[in-house]
Structure 1
Amino acid sequence: MDTPHNQATLVIDSPERMTELGRRLAKLLRPGDLVMLTGELGAGKTTLTRGLGEGLGVRGAVTSPTFVIARVHPSLVGGPALVHVDAYRLGGGLDEMEDLDLDVSLPDSVVVVEWGDGKVEELTDDRLHVLIHRVVGGPAEGADGTEDPEGTDDRRTVVLHGIGGRWADEDLLLG
């Protein structure tokens, strides 16, 4: 039997809007959810996670857990904890996640994994896979639509791909 899929594509034009997307996505999340983030360095994975943390009402500044590999942010509002994992340096999957010895029950938390492709899919059949792509081509534009003389372009295409029955009927366009 095929696994249900649900997909939406959004264009985000600034780091502030990426944070806001995270706050909006947080409203869909519940304990036990796995969110996988994929994108090149600097694509906005941690910025999105910061917004998720704000939306979930968790304690602590959400920063990249690159060197600690995983960071637990307990809820301040009685909701699920946010477990933020950077799997870039992890080789294996579920075994290495369990070896992190997180002081939280993963089924009672929202788990966000950066660089998790091929490493954490076995945690659950249901997951939200967020792919963040930098928009390329044409001159870089500032937020006001004029050319950005610094050549920085903050536009991203974000593909929200809900996998499994948990995500089949969610409004991923956040409408």
Structure 2
Amino acid sequence: MPETGSGRRTLPTVADTEAFGRELAADLRPGDLVILDGPLGAGKTALTRGIAAGLGVQGRVSSPTFIIARQHRAGDHPGAIPMVHVDAYRLGGDLDELDALDLDTDLNHAVVVVEWGLGVVEHLTDRHLRIQLHREPESDVRTIVWEWIS
């Protein structure tokens, strides 16, 4: 997946969503900001688990809802990249609390993935990847639409 442009894909299962995250991670570098948007249950955390696996981070990836941000160190293998996983839902647009997270500092050495970040964190970088997820009712089928924004 190129570092520019956009696309759309249908993902029939949660495993497909995670696999897409691994594929996406192949083109991510420290300093990249990934903003995930979609309703509850759309697959934001599943996609993040795939991104984390593709980056080679350590530890289990789960939703950081109650702690707002989790840092995942790079694994021991060459090419592994650290990741910061943020849940901006609880920030409620509070930019002071967002600034307290020092995400701009994290962007110097990690990929930062922000769930519920649309309209909240775009100002942190000159370029970011926006991913919108939609889930079909009563199904695991998800549609992902992505676009690099400069």
What's the TM-score once normalised by structure 1's chain length?
A: 0.76
Query: Of residues 141, 152, 157 in structure 1, which corresponds to 2:143?
Result: 157
1:137-152 equivalence runs, <5 A: 152=138
Please say which structure displays the higher CA radius of gyration.
Answer: 1
Deviations 1:42-73 (A, max 9, x none): 11000000011111110110000000000000
State the superposition RMSD in angstroms. Answer: 1.6
Structure 1 CA distance, aligned partners of 2:106 and 2:147?
Answer: 25
Structure 1 CA distance, aligned partners of 2:12 and 2:107?
Answer: 33
Compared with structure 1, are the counterparts of its residues 101 and 121 closer, same or farther at alpha carbon in structure 2 (3 Å cutoff)? closer
Deviations 1:56-97 (A, max 9, x none): 11011000000000000000135321000000011234x433
Runs (4+) of structure 1 exceeding 4 A deviation are none
- Helix, strand or coil for the counterpart of 2:31? coil
Structure 1 CA distance, aligned partners of 2:84 and 2:98?
Answer: 11
- Helix, strand or coil for the counterpart of 1:128? strand
Residue 92 of structure 1 is matched in structure 2 by: 94
1:1-175 equivalence runs, <5 A: 6-76=5-75, 77-78=77-78, 79-90=80-91, 91-93=93-95, 95-100=96-101, 105-135=106-136, 152-164=138-150
1:101: Cα distance to partner?
Answer: 5.3
Structure 2 CA distance, aligned partners of 1:155 and 1:101?
Answer: 35
Unpaired runs of 5+ residues, structure 2, are none
1:113: Cα distance to partner?
Answer: 0.1
Structure 2 CA distance, aligned partners of 1:32 and 1:92?
Answer: 23
Structure 1 counterpart of 2:53, which letter? E
The percent of aligned pairs where both chains have the same amino acid is 51
- Helix, strand or coil for the counterpart of 1:117? coil
What's the TM-score once normalised by structure 2's chain length?
A: 0.89
Contact 2:36 2:130 in 1 (8 A): yes
Structure 2 counterpart of 1:155, which letter? V
User: In the comparison of the two structures, how many residue pairs are matched?
Assistant: 143
Unpaired runs of 5+ residues, structure 1, are 137-151, 165-175
Structure 1 counterpart of 2:147, which letter? H
Structure 1 counterpart of 2:125, which letter? T
